[in-house]
Each structure stands twice: as C-alpha cells, then as structure tokens.
Structure 1
Amino acid sequence: MDEWSPQELKKLQKKNKRLKALLQKYKQQHHLQHALILLSEQASTIPELCSFYPAIQRLLADYVPSKNFYVVLRNPDTGLLELSYFVDQKDGIQTPLVTDQHFEQGVTGYVFRSRATAYFTRETMTAAQQQGKFKILGAQAEHWLGVPIYQDTDVIGVMVSQSYDAKQGYSQEQIELFEVIALYLATAIERVKKRELLESQVKQRTQALTLSNQALNDEISQRKKALERQQTLFQISELASQSINIDDVYYHVHQIMKSITYAENLYIALYDKDNNWLTFPYAVDECSEDFGPRPFAKGFSELVLTSKQCQLIDRARSEQLIAEGIIERQGKLDPSCRCTSWLGAPLKTAQGVIGLIVCQAYNNKYDFVQEDVELIAYVSNQIANVLQNHLSQQALRQSHQELELRVAEKTRELRQANLHLQLQIDERRKIEQQLYHDAHHDSLTGLPNRSLFLSQLERTLGQYQRFPEKDFAVLFIDLDKFKDINDKLGHQCGDQFLIEVADKLKQCIRDHDLIARLGGDEFVILLTQLNERQQAEDVAKRIIAVMQQPFCNQGICIQSGASIGITYSKRDYSHTDEIIRDADAAMYYAKQTGKGRFEFYHPLLGYGNDQQEPHQRHHLMDLHTHFRASDIVNFDQQQPHAQLLDAYGEHPVLGSTSFEQLKRFASDNYELAKVELKLLKYGFNQHQSDIMSLLNCSSLLLDDKHFEGLSHWVGQLTNKDKLCLLFSEAELRFCSANQMKNLDKLYQQGLHIGLNEFGKDRCELSLLTQLPYFCVLLNATFSRRVLQDPRYDHMLQGVLAVTQLNDCMVIAKGPCILNYRSLLEHHGVHHFIGQQHAIAEQQPLHAIPS
C-alpha cells in the first residue's frame, strides 16, 4: 500500500481534530440534556424543598465537584440574601449565619450584584478582596464557583460550589453545565413550591371538613343530652308538687337515677350539722344491709360533705386516700363484695349541704366515668331542693322542735362568723407576708432585690466595723452577650436565660452567702465569713466556668459569659454606696479588658481613699472631655435638621468613654449634677449653630436642690430656641411629681424638651402626651424589631399618630445603611441619626468655665 503524503497526513490530522472537538461538544450537549431531564424529573416528583436541594446536589455530583455546595435566595420582604441549603466539609451551619449581612458582604453578594458567573482560585479571590470587591468569610476554598439564579430578567439568588482541594478545579464545560442548571433552577423551585402549597391546601381543606363534621356530630349529641337532662329535671320537679310521703320521694328518686346511670346500689344520706351525725333514710344495696345512723367519721361520704363536690373513687384512688390518712376503713370488708367504683354527689340547697346521694358498683360490674359525674352533679341540686321541700314540711309538723332548731341555727351562725373572722385574720397575715416578700425580691428570678441586698450589706458593714476580723467581699456580675440573646431569641427567652443564670449562681455560693439581682442583667453577691481574698476569687472562677456553658433555645445556642468585679472589705469603707461603686468599677474594667473574667478593685479604677497620693486618684473633674456631634438627617435630604451632642471623657484606664459610663466615678449626686450642668453649658456654647442642638440631660437636674442652677442658665440664654434637652423614657417614667413640675417649668421658659431611648423597655404612649415634645428618639433595638415583628410596627404606628398631633419629630437610631433606612421610611419614620464628628478639643473638666 502506498504511503501517505505529508499533505494528506496534515488533512487527516485536521479532520481528526475537528471530529474530536465535535465529539466533545456532543458529549457536553448530552450531559446538559441529561442533567436538565433529571432536574425536570426531580421538580415533578419531589414534594418538598427540603428534599429537592439534596437531589440537585446529587445530580451535580455526577458532573461537577459539589461536595461543598449551597444555595442563597433573596428574601422578597427584607431584600436580604438568606441561606436555603448549605453543605460544607469545613464550615458548620453556624458559619454562614454569624451576621445578618453575611452574604451581602462576601463573594456571594458580589456575584448577586454583578449578575454574572464568577470563578475564583485562592489567589484570585485574595486579590479581589484586596481590591475591596468583597470580604472573604469562613474557610477559604481553593476553587470557588458562583452562578446567579435568574427568574425572567431578575436575579433572585446565587448557586455556589467550592472545592478545598487545590487539584480539583472546574473546567469550562463544568462551568457551563453549572450555569445551565442555575438557569432552570428558579423554575424548578417554583414548581416544587406550588406542589407544596397545593398539598398543604388539600390537607387544610380535608382537616376543616373533618372538624366541621365532628362539630356537627358533637352538637347533635349535646342536644340529645340536653333534652334527656331536661326530661329528667321535669320528672324530679314533679316530685316537689306531689303530696306523697318522704319514703315515696326517695323511691322515685332511685328510679330516676336508674334511668340516667348505673344505680342498682344507691343510698341517700342526710347530714345533721348540729350533732355531727349521718343518717341513711334510704338505701338499696346488694352486699350490705347495715345503714344505721353513725357519727361523722372519715369515710367516702364525709369526703363528699366536707369538699362539697362530687367524688368519683375507684380502687386506686381509694388506696391513695387511705394512705394519705384522708379516709379510714371501718371494720373488715367482705372479699366477695368489694366496692370497685363509687360515685357520690352533695345535696346542696340555699341552706347549704343537707346530705349526699351515692351510687356504687361491686366486683367490676360497672365503672363510673366523668360523664356519670356530670349527670349526677346536674340533677343533685334539683333532688336536694325536692328533698329539702319535703323535709321542711315534715319539720313543720314537728313544732315542738322549733325552739331548739332556732337556738342551733344561731349557734351555727356564730360559729361560722368566728371561723370567717379567723380566716380573715389568717388571710391578712398571709397577704402581709407576701407583700414583704414581693417588696424585697425580684419578681422574675425570685432572688433578693436591691433593697434587701443593701440592707444586708449595711448590717454586714456595721458588723465588720465592730469586728474587723470578719472579712467580707462583694461581687458585681454583668452578663456578657445578654443583648444578643434578647435580640436573636426574644425577650421571653431572655427572661428564661436570667432564671437559669440565677439557678447557676446559687449553686456557686454557700448557704449563708447572699445573691441578688439589681436589674436587667446585673447581679451582686455578698460573701461573708471570709478568711482570705482567695475565697472570693474561687467563687468568681466557679461563676465564670459555669457561665461558659452555652444557652440553647429553639435549636439556637449562644455562648454567654460573665464579667465580675470584686471588692474586698477594708476599714476605709463607711457606706454601702462606696462598696457597690468600687465593685461596679472593677466589673466595668473586667468587661472592657476582654469579658469573661474577673478583676479586684484597684484605686486606678475609681476613687481611692483620702490617704492615697494625688496622682493615684482619678476624679471625674480631672478627666479630659470633648463633644461629638451626630447629624439628624431626613431620608431624602442630606441637610441636617438638628445635631445630637454627646460628651466623652478620656479615662486613664478605660480609655475614651461616654459620659453616661463615666457617671459611675462621681463621688456623690451633688458632684454629678455639678459636672452635668457644666457639660450642658460647655457643649451648647461650643456648638453655636443655626440648627437645633440636642443634649442629653438626666432627671437628677430636675431635683429641687439642683434645678435652680439649670433654670437660671436657661433663663439667661438668648438663643434657647436652638436648644433641646433630652430625657430618657426610663428616667421620666420614674420621675416624682416635683421633678415633672420642674420639667414643665423648663418648657414654660421656652426651652424645647425631647424624649430619648423611647421603646427600650416598654412603649408607653401616655408618656408622649405629658408634654408637647420637640422630638422622640427611638431606641435602636426597637427600630430594628419594627422590621421583624408586626407587633412592634403596631406600636410604632401608635407613636407616629400621637406625635403628629404635636408636630413632634420621630428619629430612629441604628446603622447608617441605606437599605435599613429605606425600610424604616416605608413604616413612616423619616429622620435618622447620621455619622459622628468632633466639635471641640479635649480639655479637663475642671478647666471648663462654669
């Protein structure tokens, strides 16, 4: 055979190359077609989304590395990207849920915004992060592939697959296959959702029909029972009008009872209260003939009379009542005739319980049930009235006993009056004890409150001053991440968490130590009979260890902790306020330096004693202070309507801290009021703007002994129309009548008044009507919950309705995020707090002119 020429070989090579390309293209098209067919089958057969996503992952696994796979879809209500399915070899399910904006900040959000497929290796992803395109969150993959999910022309989510193996990347054919699956994924999801919805509606409709039929049957049954009971009552009522003797009445009652329940064995007993005696005027029983009169004892009949209620007693309850000493057996019982079911009902009249009617069954011939109890209770009153009527007629015929009956009646009334008086005395004593307990204990945890703790601390301090060898310590405890528990799990779970914390803390102390809840998430412990500081340190370590256990609810676990400040007894303490202040300062330092730890009090954290060197003390007046201003802006217009001014101090240990936190270092209320008034004057003078200045002010300045200085300064202002003093909702809620009167005086002087931190603890609309406020600043947590819980939206609409009457400006706190403000703007809030900026240089408080 002739050899191929070079030109012919070259042509054959080209044809071979073209055939391989066509074969590869055909293979790729076959894979795509097969994958789409499988996707359509899954969407048509799988009834729930929770099973649909794993099926998609298994489908992709045949063509694309997809061991690490997740799907993120946009929530149409909030506009945020939310996780729909997540499987990862390294990251747990908690990792993508660390923050609310996790996906918006990461590479997933980048793909969603760019609306295009993105493929990154470790190197290209690191470079993109350095360029500021997104943040790398979670474990970094070696290969990352993200494809947008389209619905018509809109991107509704992102489908992602990633590989932690540097050798296992994604080819162009695999990327194309991934894109095609994502292209049809939205349609498949909608099909599964519609099937889910249809099945749910069918179940609901079926359940509704079943309930409707059941309700109809129940109504028919109830009407039949009502007619039967009515006929029974008619029969009993006829006995009252018949002129028959009392024995015939008993017999007819027995026959009526047989028509409504098992009454082969029945007896009627009458109770003589004066003589404490039981008589049995009628009895029919297959096993006993001994129904003679007897004194009041501890039998089943006496139980009905004393409880004045129907009693259903079987063998098990009989043994229980005997074991508890409520019932006592009288003599030996015949084993051949043992009562297995007993039903008794009191015979009540206007004069009280006159006796009882009893049905009983022997040797398991019949078991009385709740329906029998209802029937006998229903007719017993009518039977009692009939018997009472005949007994009264019989009593009239015995006229010679009338005087004795009157004397007995007066004696009984006097005995009841004495009993009632004694019951009132006992009840008042219980109420007084309960009031004392409620006044000195926390209603949520049951722990002692601040008042009881301070009383015990004062006694302990007095004992220490007399006997210095009896050392003590105070531990001030603040829970870490309590706000996260409230925000993520709700206030009800937050309350449950506080209850569990209280139980844990009680396990860490001795029986004679005292633990109390001051309020919120703050607890204090008083340790007595100490020999060394190490004992207090051991208690703090036990508390920190037990608080490291996570708190779990509704499948969500949050790691909490405790920051503890400790102050140990010393001779310099003369008042309990000094002890609490030092323990609080130590706790605050522990929280600022890492949380989940404890610190003993040191003079650098607050006030030292008078014998310390001047450089060791850091008084409030020595702290350098400056002001920062935050613009109050409208959603549409960025020009500020007002500015919120906040004071900050530079503490040598705690660093830059707000004035609200530095208040704890004031020696007394007089110094605190003096400092606060000086800051108000300084902040307003430094601002001097054409727009309104909002300054925080505490209710302390509304006290009569401090108000004169504040009122005098306001009276001297020529531009008071540019000043608005803010008071927190919590403080105004507990203001005295004099403080509210002084607040009204400020308003009458022409000063604007505002309400701060509204909705933090509660949302009292009545507080908004006390003054025509210039503005109301909503608490940041309240504003965020408006977007999550319809109940808070209803509260907000009430606030807006009240404030609109006085042309009051409602301002929302929260992050400076356009999406956040846009959502709140839809709920009716149009003003927000902007970024902070400094308006004055730092200088010591003592250098600021008064």
Structure 2
Amino acid sequence: MSSKSLEDSATHFDKLARKNVRLKSLLQKYKQSHHLQHALLQLSEQASTVAELTLLYPAIHNILQDYIPSKNFFVVLHNPVYDNLELSYFADEKDGLSVPLKYEQYFKEGLTGYVFKQGKTSYFTKQQTELAVEQGLLKCFGTPAEHWVGVPVYRDKSIIGVMVAQSYEKDLSYSEQQIELLEVMSLYLATAIERVKKRELLESEVKIRTRALTQSNQALNEEIQQRKKALERQQILFKISELATLSENLDDVYKHVHEIIKTITYADNLYIALYDEQTHWLSFPYCVDEYNDTGRPRPFAKGFSELVLSSEECQVIDIDKANNLIKLGVVERPVDVPAERTATSWLGAPLKTSQGVIGLIVCQAYNNKHEFTQDDCELITFVSHQIANVIQTHLANQELKLNHQKLENRVAEKTKELRQANLHLQMQIEERKKIEQQLYHDAHHDSLTSLPNRSLFLTQLEKTLQHYQRYPEQQFAVLFIDLDKFKDINDHLGHQAGDQFLIGVAESFSHCIREHDLLARLGGDEFVVLLTHLTEQQQAQDVAKRIIEIMRKPFCMKGQCIQSGASIGITYSKPSYKHTDEIIRDADAAMYYAKNAGRNRFECFHPLLNASNVQHDADNMHHLDDLPMHFRSAEIITLDEQTRAESLLEAFGEHPVLGSTSFEVLKKFATDRVQHFEVELNLLKQAFSLVSDSKKEKVLFPCSGLVLERINFQALCKLLKAHDANRMCLLFNEQEIRYASAVQIENLKNLVAQGFSIGLNEFAKDRCELNLLTEFQFDYLLLSSTFSKRVLQQENYHLQLQGVLAITKLQNIKVIAKGPSIFNYRTLLDKHGLSLFIGKQHALAPFEYETPSAQIITS
C-alpha cells in the first residue's frame, strides 16, 4: 500500500474517532435530559397525588435515588417568624434523627447555612469541608460526609430553604449532571410544596364542609322523623275521633281501639278494664290474650291494674320491677300462675276523662317476645286520653239507650209538668236578663244622674284612643267639666237640692252633644265629655260654649237662687298620647287653668299648663307629695296556689279623679322631675323597711327609668348599698327600657355589674321585642295581662310566647304572668308553658309625707 493510501486511512480513522466522541457526548446529554424530564414528571405526579407534605419529601427522595447517590438526604426550610432553618425531612445512614434535631439551632452556621447564605449550589468533599472549618467559614455537626452537595430552594427569587444529598463513600461522588438534576429538582420543589399545601387546605375545607353538611343532614333527618311522628300521631287521633261519631256498638269500638294500638306498639295481648267507684269492682269488657281471654270481673285488689288506677300514671313493668313491687308489698300476685303464663313485660295506661279515671288499657308480652320502653309509654299515654273520651261517650250513649225506653214511658206523664216548668223558667230567664241588664247598667252608670260612670268612660276612652292610633285622621276631644259654686248650693239649699241640681245639669249637658258622643259623671261635681269623629277643633269649643251658656241660668229652689257656672278644660287627640291617663291629666290641667282664670269659661290644653299646676292649692291633691299613699303586696304563686319565696310590692295613691291608682300612673302627673325622683327614692326606702320585716327571700318593686338618669343614679346606688339589696329586685317598665337613652341603658347594665337584681315589667303589652331579653341580664320577667289574654285568643301570640319561654330558659329568667285570679285562666296559661302567677293583692300600712322634701314615714 502506498504512503498516500496510508495517510488517507489515518485521516479517515481520525474523523471517525472525533465523530464517535461527539456521539458519546450527545448521547450523554440526551440521557441526562431524559433523566431530568423523567424526574420532573415524577415530581409533578407526586405533587398532584400526595395528600400532605409529610408524604411529598419521601416521594422526592425515592425519585432521586434512581439517579444519584442519595441514601443520605434531607430538606431544610426557612421559618421567617423565628428566622431560623427548620428540618422538614431527614434520612441518613449513620446519624439518627436526634442528631440534626440536637443541632437544629446551628443549621445556619453549618454547611446548610453556608449554602443558604450564599444562595447557590455548593459541593464539598471531606477535605474541602475540613479546610472550610479551619478557615472559620462554617462549622461541622454530625458525622462528616465524603461528598456533600447542597442546592438552594427558591420561590419567586427568594430563597426559602436548602435541599442536601451526601455520601459517606469515597467512590460515590457527584457528577455535574447529578448536581444539575438536584438543581432542577429544587426549582420545582417550591412549586410542588405550594401545590400540596393548597391541596391540604382544600381537603381540610372539604372535610369541614362535609362535616357541616353531615350535621345539617342529621338535623334535617331528625326533623323529618319528628314530623313523621307528629303526622302519625295526628292520623291516630283522626282514627280515634272517627270512633266517637260511629254508630257501632261498644264491642266494635273496643276492636277498633285494639287495631289502633297495634299500629303504635306490640299489642298481641291487650285488655281494657273499667273501674266502678261505687262497687269498687273491675270489669273487663274487652280481652284478647293468648292464655286468658275470658276477663272475668273481680274486686279492687293489689294488682298491676290497681297500681295504674291508684297512681293515675302510665306504668312500664318488667320482671325486675315486678319482683321489687312484690317485695315492697305494693303488688300481690296469685301463687298458682305458671311461669310461662306470667308476663315478662307489662304496659298499662289510665283512661282519664273530665270525670276522672274510668279504667285502663293494658298491653303485655310473654316469653320475652317484646320489651316495652318509655317511648311505648309516651305513645299509649298520648292516645289513652282520646280513647277514654270515646269510650266514655259510647258508655254514656249505651246508658242512654238503656234508659231511653224508661224515659219514653215517662214522657207523656211529664209533658204537662215540663210545659209549666218551661213557662216558669222562661219567665225567670227573662227576669234574670232584666236583672243582669240592670246590674250591668248600675255598675257602669251613675246612680244619681244615670250617666255613664268613671269605669265606662275610661273603657270607651281607651277604645277611642286605640282606634285613633290606627286611624289618626279620625280626631277626638275630651272636655273636663267642673261645676262652679256647687258647694254653695249644698251649703245653702241642702244636699237634696244639690242632687236635683246635678240631675238637671246632666240632662242639660246631654242636649249639648251629639248622639254618638259620650257624657259621663266622674263623681261629685265633675263631668267629662268624649267627642269623636271631629273634623275640626272648633267643634269641641262650640260644645263648651253651649254648656257655659246653659250654666249661666241661675238655679232656684225654696225661694233662693244661686248663680253657678262651669269651668271646662279641653284636650285634643294627638300622636304623643299613649295612655288614657295622659288625656285626663291634660284635660284636668286645662280645667284648673280655666277655674283659676275666672271660672265659667273654657281653656284648651297647652304643655305650659302642666308647669302652672305646681302652684295649685294643697287641697287639690294633684301632686305626688300631696297624695296619700299605701303599699300593696302580692305573692308569686304556682297553679296549685303554692306560694313561692318571691312577692310583688307596689305603691298606690288616692287621686281625686282616678281614685286609688298605682304609682306607675300617678307619676305621669308629676310636673317636677326632681320632685318625682325624691318621691320615688323615698318609696324605695320605705319598701326596704318593709322588706326587712318580710319573710320573703326576694321582693319585686317597680321603678321608673328616671332613677337611671345620670343625676339620680349615684343616689340610687348609694341607697341600694346601704340596705339588703340582695332581697330586692328593681322592676323597670318594658316600654321605658325600649325608649331608654344611652345613659339609662349604661346605668341599667351597671346595676347588674354591681350585683343588683333587675327585672322587666309589663312585657309585650303592645309588641314583643325579644332582643331586650338578651341585651340585659334580667332575673324576672312579668308579662302584661294584655299579652296573656292574647295568647289564649290568637295562635300567633302563642308562638311569640314560645319564643319568649325559649329565650328566658337560656337566660335563666323567671317568667311571671299577670291577670285575673281565675283557675281556668291560669290552667290555660299553664298549658302554654307558664307556671308562675301574681296572687291576690293585700294592702299594707299607709304612709304620708312629713316634710316638703317628700320624706316618707309610716303612719
């Protein structure tokens, strides 16, 4: 071969060798790229599937072990709160977990902290580590590694931690490709951590919502079950009510009752027993039993049936309870009854009617076929009352049928007597109607003038005020009339002449008003007129002018003539009027102004007139410090008239117009707020003296919102602290609290904070505001009598009452009802959930004011 050919061959081999080297380099790059891609895919898959971070780190560790020496691997993350590096994952061949935890606070000073500070990948051999330690660049903790590589973990250009792999074998080092793989993995580690954290948060929210939905579903299911039970009970009641109208005989009724009981509980063995109080015998008109179906009558003894009749309660008796009752001697059982014929579970409920217990209904099970529970007892008790009424009705009908034949024979004989008796009875009824009408008239009319009296007038005024509040366009007016010089007529002409004068005045006044207006005599020489359907105020003034014109005529008798007259005060309807007392007060004030201005004239009310009334003579007794007062006490009782450890103490005064009236009404006539507070404070002092003598643990005393004002509150607290305030509960009117100022509300809460007891009076008189019950810590709640009556008359008020009772039970507030002392009235309220009532009031010793400063002393 020529030299040229050899040269060409050598050149060709060189080219092939260079290509081979290049191909190996490309192959290595492709292999490295494949490893990176595969590792990132695995990391992404793990980040998408693992449920929590504690599972992510082991997954990353497993991925790395396929490509680099990473048996020793850990991850450290930065805690910005404490500014230190915390260990998140750790796996090591030589050092246990206790080693890094021991030096965790020194992570910043070691290799890991060096990488964190530098913010770039660092590779150390054992010799390089020792050299760095000698140079003071870092510290070494734990077993030194032959090869150590740390890669920073970034999130949004901020370093958040370090990922470390290390090897304890000299020949297991890290290549550039392996370090590059670690770096790539670190780039995606922060994203993977964030994805897992979001998944953890999402799964936590899902669990919370799932739990909430589960609880909601459970509550809904419970409500559905309750409604199903209610519907089932309603259907049972319908079936029982149908029995009362069926024309079947009594035996068929018993069979239908048995079928109904079977739908409620186990009733294969059932009997119905009736009790005769006169003979003291038990009869068994219906008996279905697998061992005994005769049901022979027997005298009253000491069996389970007698136990139900005596206790008038449902009884559930198993073997153990039966044995205990026998040992105690409450029950006696026949000794010759075989064990297999002795009931293992027994359920009996009394049949109660308005006449009392007429018998019982019993279900029993043998050989442990069924065990009756308290639910069975509640169900059979629920239906037993209805069944008792049905049986009672059919028994009465049966007795009527037996007596029907006898009655037919006597009908002809008694027809004439009945006709005469009916005629006589009809006459008595007519006479009684006349007497009742006369009694009603006498109770609501003045005996002298036959005019409506104070009671009838106040009732009509209350209705007119309520109508006006609904229809403000329909105006009304009240005229308060006081006759002038009436005392002169009595003194000079005699009281008989005075009576004749009043009769003539009443007749004359009646000609001055329209047919639908109301003229009434309050007493003495005082009259009032209620004018309704007014279109203008001038109409009331025209009536007053006619009355004054009539009174200009002199009154003559026995040859003597006396000139009288009329002083009239007029007040018109206005939105600010909430009570009839306010209307009478203003009309009275206007009348006194007319009398002081010269008499025989009329004046219309103006707010300034209240201030002028302060100058009235003490004889008029229209001021709080002039009115004779006394206390009345009422005990808090239960339905069965059992007294409790609480009582209600109220102050009353004798008003010249309104008569004996509570302090709650009288305080509206106070023209001076200072005078009002002094009187009320002295009332409270007097109440404390009565409380100290009382055996009651708690006395409820009504107060006004005036004591809660800033200038009065300190004096109130001083008085409370000076006495045994633990036995006194201050009652505040619900309407005053509803419109109380911010200072009054704050002081009311201060009373509670200082340990004093408070209550709410006249609650729900015009509307029911439940938020008041939760805003303050009341100890007592006195319902208004108006609300109690509405509860018995309208269904929606019953629902409001249930809301009140639910809140007061949570707030531990005692609810007390007001109203008439009628047993049926209280029984109906008791069925609605009210068990405490105001008893009858009894008067305590009166008292009077000793000085102008309104100091109260016991008289």
User: Structure 1 length as normaliser, TM-score?
Assistant: 0.35
Structure index of larger Rg: 2
